Structure 1
Amino acid sequence: MGQDSVSTPRLSFGPDEEPDIGTPYAQYVRLETLHSLQHPRSKVDAELSFIITTQVMELLFDLLRHEWTTAQHALREDDLTAAFAALRRGTHVQDVLISSWDLLATMTPGEFTAFREVLGEASGFQSSAFLRLEFMLGNKNESLLKMYEGSAAVHGDLTAALHAPSLYDEALALLARRGLPVPHEPGTGRYRASEEVVAAWRQVYTDPALAEAARLGEALLDTAERVTRWRQRHYSSVKRTMGAKPGTGGSSGLTWLKQSADQDVFPELWTVRNEL
């Protein structure tokens, strides 16, 4: 190959896919497809912002799932360096997710009400990607799978997540392999805190020989704190935009969001701070 020649990378597409038209960049990120996915059902300007913001959130949910899955695999392999890196990348994704509420928070009740009817039964509570993240955090609820019975692939993915260890389960399993008395076994229900796990984290934070595990605790708490920020931001945005009215799709709206915002993720990591 000559020194001045330039090779163009070959792009491959699935058998049922059509390549996007345009520059290599447009083909790589599928621009034509991406910019064709916004279809407002009303003439209200605020609806386009609502659609694009929620679509961006969904993409970020997928990215966060990728990072947390990577962290889980690393913890399973006792590779804390890789786990820290994945969790750190995940916190950056979470920061963008939290900030994305800025695009919706200033929507007035009048603007939202003007197009709310076209949403029909659609609700953010129906997001399978978001529920998958909740399961990965240990917030499992088998009854929620019922709404996905019409989609075999989604139902199967969520069922697998329900039965799989959560991110916190993998961390506790690592502590157990390090010789700490951690009695917790993964389950299919919402994670419940235990005094034994609090005691294990207390030992982690007070024994210099377990400094690396203490770093893991702090990395997990970075994740947990951002989950709380996300929930609080969600709550305040909904409260500002629609008040205490029932949510679309029949959800309890503000009441559920408030309860969620008040619930700690990885609870023993918060409790042990009372004793350090």
Structure 2
Amino acid sequence: MQCPMSGQPAEPSSNNDARWHEAQMDFSKLMSYGDYLGLDQILTAQHPLSPDHNEMLFIVQHQTSELWMKLMLHELRAAREQVKQDQLAPAFKMLARVSRIMEQLVQAWNVLSTMTPPEYTAMRPYLGQSSGFQSYQYREIEFILGNKNAAMLSPHAHRPEHLAVVQEALETPSLYDEAIQLMVRQGLHIDADWLQRDCTQPTSYNASVEAAWLQVYRQPEQYWELYQLGEKFVDLEDAFRQWRFRHLTTVERVIGFKRGTGGTEGVSYLRRMLDVVLFPELWRLRTEL
């Protein structure tokens, strides 16, 4: 490469170079950033119904949460399939990503908590019967993680295409179910009554499952991948618990103990959800170690 000598001006770029750069900036003929991301559709999807300034915050908060949940489902479905196929290394990356997504969702509550009770009251009448209970993506996440409840199908009955998605998630073994089946394939004992359980029921504690996990945790060198899988589950539930707590405190901060939109119980329901344990044996075994 030749450089101009000191004190001599560089030669101007050729006309060909200029035309090339101009062509590269002509997005009428190339896919642009906005085209790739579908930004026109995303950024025009906010339609406030009230005259209140703060409704935009409420809409964007929930829309971005649904986008993160879409990614969570993409990762959770794939992780479940990898566990089913005894391919744990890819599942570890997917589950770690889901935990980090949950951290994003936890932090999002900090933004919504800037909405004060009078501000929410000003826009609440315009929300009609819409409720977070109707988030079919969130319900599928709960079902994939084992917190199954057939009664939670009813909020989706008015949208058959959404109901079908949630119904399928209810009737499909959870991620944790598949992990325990994997333990059986690796020679660990699980009682027959658990293996024959109805997978549409929520995960509940089983002594043989705890015993199997204890064996894994007491011999991590022998069961290294299962040991890592157990810790990925604990990371995930830890993040999920933090999300539930921030949800509760934000709702209580904004609406107190009023009922939620759509007739939901509000804070009292969210408090009960704090007691839900997704992977009970993985938490109880810590006392035994």
Q: 1:112-191 to 2 correspondence within 5 Å? A: 112-183=120-191, 184-185=194-195, 187-191=199-203
Cα distance in 2 between the residues matched to 1:84 and 1:147: 33
Q: How far 1:103 moved relative to its partner?
A: 1.2
Cα distance in 2 between the residues matched to 1:264 and 1:155: 25
Cα distance in 1 between the residues matched to 2:84 and 2:171: 16
Could you tell me whether the CA contact under 8 Å between 2:150 and 2:170 is conserved in 1? yes
Q: 1:46-85 to 2 correspondence within 5 Å? A: 46-85=54-93
Cα distance in 2 between the residues matched to 1:52 and 1:98: 15
Partner of 1:12: none
Cα distance in 2 between the residues matched to 1:118 and 1:246: 16
Partner of 1:16: none
SS in 1 for 2:216: helix
Q: How far 1:170 moved relative to its partner?
A: 1.2
One-letter identity of the residue aligned with 1:34: I
Deviations 1:185-209 (A, max 9, x none): 4511211111111111111100131
Q: How far 1:149 moved relative to its partner?
A: 2.1
Does residue 192 (structure 1) correspond to residue 200 (structure 2)? The answer is no
Q: Which has more radius of gyration?
A: 2
One-letter identity of the residue aligned with 1:235: L
One-letter identity of the residue aligned with 1:76: K
Deviations 1:1-33 (A, max 9, x none): xxx97999xxxxxxxxxxx99961111111111
Partner of 1:88: 96
> Any stretches of 5+ residues in structure 1 without a counterpart?
9-19
Superposition TM-score, scaled by structure 1 size:
0.90
Q: Specify whether residues 166 and 36 from structure 1 end up closer, same or farther in structure 2 by C-alpha distance, changes over 3 A only.
A: same
Deviations 1:133-192 (A, max 9, x none): 010111111122122222221111111111101111111111111111123345112111
Cα distance in 2 between the residues matched to 1:267 and 1:249: 32
Say how many residue pairs are matched. 264
Q: How far 1:211 moved relative to its partner?
A: 2.2
Output the aligned Cα RMSD. Answer: 2.2
Could you tell me whether the CA contact under 8 Å between 1:87 and 1:223 is conserved in 2? yes
Does residue 212 (structure 1) correspond to residue 212 (structure 2)? The answer is no
> Any stretches of 5+ residues in structure 2 without a counterpart?
1-18
Cα distance in 2 between the residues matched to 1:149 and 1:262: 27
Could you tell me whether the CA contact under 8 Å between 1:21 and 1:32 is conserved in 2? no
Q: Specify whether residues 206 and 253 from structure 1 end up closer, same or farther in structure 2 by C-alpha distance, changes over 3 A only.
A: same
**Percent of counterpart pairs with the same letter?**
37
SS in 2 for 1:101: helix
One-letter identity of the residue aligned with 1:271: R
Cα distance in 2 between the residues matched to 1:59 and 1:251: 23
Q: How far 1:262 moved relative to its partner?
A: 2.1
Cα distance in 1 between the residues matched to 2:102 and 2:157: 29
Does residue 27 (structure 1) correspond to residue 38 (structure 2)? The answer is no
